[in-house]
Structure 1
Amino acid sequence: MSQPTSAQPWTFDVGGPALYGQHFAAPHERGAVLLTHGYAEHLGRYRRVIQGLTEMGLSVYSYDQRGHGQSPGARAVVDVDVLVGDHLRAREALRGLGVPLFAFGHSMGGLVTAASVLRDPRGLAGAVLSSPLLLVGEGESAALKALSGVLGRFFPSLPVTALESGGLSRIAEEVSAYDSDPQVYRGKVPALTAASMLRVSRQLTAQYPQWRLPTLIVHGSEDKLADVRGSRRFAETAGTALTPRPEIEYLEIEGGYHELFNDTVQAEVTARLLGWLEKQLNSEASAAPL
């Protein structure tokens, strides 16, 4: 696989130690994408997606979230609200690029992206949510949910939930690459991380009708790591309180696992992503004043 064009260091102010980030410049820039990775992984796992984006003229900005990859912080021990604040700061740093900016978030990064957009949609031309973690703890008792909050507050690093990497992809080589990646965290989900995922996902649901951005959601029907029902609910309710309702496009892949861009349907899903972004860029161009 060829490398994305012009990978350069990129940082932005987070009010503390800098997060590790990179900028992949498109040769003939038409737009830009802020890409946010999922739980336990890092930005380096998105080379294939980044390559496709830069080839169509979209520069990519990405960073390892706190506690992940090469960024500082206790490994995978994160408060999603803090991650949302980082995302908002990253977006602020990208204001004034002079080209349309899109937000792409996968899994926990999809939850972070959705929360960021709902807090402030300004400055974004659209959003892409890849297997977003929008529904957490469905079916768990109220007592267990309350206990998760207590554990997250007083024992933030306590390991509470195991995730199986076999649910990532139907391609064995992709699962093996994940398992052998030294930058991937492979322990149980810490209590603070699990509790904050639950809290933020529950807070967002009532806000979906106020969603203001054109959005593409992609999710596999057999995803065992991020509940597909969360994406279905989002697709049904996002923007419904607005007139006109923003364009919400939902693609559910029958039999698809969690990482669709690393699954047997990667070519189909990538083509759908690039086609959707092309449509949005053309819409932005046609709406621009003469």
Structure 2
Amino acid sequence: MTTPSGESTPSAVYNEAWLPGPSSTQFYTRTYPSSDSRAVLVFVHGFAEHVGRYEWAHAEYAKRGITVFTYDQRGFGRTALDKEKKSKESAYGKTSRVEQLRDIEWWVKHVRREFQGLPVFLMGHSMGGGLVLAFGTRTTAPPERETLSLLTGVIASSPLVQQTYPASKILRYIGGKASTLFPHLLIDAPVPVEDLSHDPLANLASVNDPWIIQKGSLKGLHDMLSGGEQLLAGDYKHWSRNLPLLVVHGDVDRVTSFKASKEFFDKVDAEDKTFTPFEGGFHELVHEPDGVKEKFVECCISWVLKHVETGSGPASKL
């Protein structure tokens, strides 16, 4: 279970491991095994957070027959901050779009080896949501296209395609230029805590979380924001027609743009795609109270299990 401080108490629902990834970087990972696994889900968390914030949800997936593999992203969480086990080169915010997409490819291949015979799904939230959409649109050449063919479906939760209230173009231009000179320079990148969810306790836990720092590197922030814009500008054209897509977004999200998510969804030429809006939902649907978070998790689980039963997606054609 997760305490109000964001720390996790010992739990039998997941297995922790430090595993080597690209460039020999050590990643903090969690696996939520299912006793009767029918699929495996690779989960990619959002900006300035970590996998411990999803413990209750990922345990629910495992109960329903979906094994979850997730990792603290390069530049975030324990992967960046654990003084005893992180790689020497790892530092908070030290990341780039190229590295993040390469990391996703690495872990998709990892779970394919570890869970042979099970369909593999990819899911991301916020920044992670933007990354999984990018993974589905930019891996257009071997061996990346081969890796994409291993997936049975993609889920994007409140994806960062655009910010709801974007920074001015002038500031973005200056930041882009500065990122080439000082790529790893950290700057403040706060998200108003009251915009995360309608649950004040969940929001307070984020404030007190020792693994969350509301900062980002110039390179990481520039890549994150410009990458989302590229999705709408033309990358959507590269989405594989036979790769199922689910996009879930709260319609009053004040962090990532609901409108931009819908625009991307409408542009994607996928044979099997679903857009599920949550009326009145804020950014973190996984923490929304009054039954909303349970409805959100059920939405995602049901979609995965449906596609396991139908055997759809590129992986079914291997």
How many Å separate the matches in 1 of 2:276 and 2:200? 24
1:242 alignment counterpart: none
What TM-score do you get using the length of structure 2 for normalisation?
0.82
CA contact (8 A) 2:45 2:128 kept: yes
- 2:102 counterpart residue number: 85
Name the structure 2 match of 1:108: 127
Amino acid corresponding to residue 211 of structure 1 in structure 2: W
State the 1:199 CA deviation: 2.2
Report the CA distance between 1:204 and its aligned residue: 2.3
1:274 match: 301
Is 2:145 the counterpart of 1:117? no
Q: 253-262 or 195-204, which moves further after superposition?
A: 195-204
Deviations 1:6-59 (A, max 9, x none): 424262431222111122211011110001111111011111221111011111
In structure 2, C-alpha distance between the alignment counterparts of 1:217 and 1:22, rounded to whole Å? 24
Contact 2:93–2:186 under 8 Å retained in 1: no
Q: How many residues align?
A: 282
Correspondence for 1:44: 52
**Aligned partner of 2:268 among 221, 238, 243:** 238
Relative to the length of structure 1, the TM-score reads 0.89
Q: 1:27 to 1:47 in 2, by over 3 A?
A: same
Asked if the contact 1:76–1:185 (Cα under 8 Å) also holds between the matched residues in 2, the reply is: no
Aligned to 1:18: 26
Structure 2 CA distance, aligned partners of 1:74 and 1:208? 32
Q: Please state how far the C-alpha of 1:162 moved relative to its aligned partner.
A: 2.8
Q: What's the C-alpha RMSD, in Å, of the aligned pairs? A: 2.3
Question: Residues of 2 paired with 1:110 and 1:24: CA distance?
Answer: 20
Match of 1:204 in 2: 231
Q: Residue in 1 aligned with 2:13?
A: 5
- How far, CA to CA, are the matches of 1:14 and 1:282 in structure 2? 33
Determine helix, strand or coil for the equivalent of 2:79.
coil
Q: Which of structure 1's runs of 4+ aligned residues deviate more than 4 A?
A: 1-4, 136-142
Assess if the C-alpha contact under 8 Å between 2:164 and 2:256 holds in 1. Answer: no
Q: Match for 1:75 among 79, 89, 92? A: 92
Could you tell me the percent identity over the aligned residues?
Answer: 27
Point out where structure 1 has 5 or more consecutive residues left out of the alignment. Answer: 240-244
- Corresponding position of 1:176: 204
Shifted more, 95-104 versus 131-140: the winner is 131-140
Unpaired runs of 5+ residues, structure 2, are 3-10, 81-89, 140-144
1:141 Cα shift?
Answer: 5.1
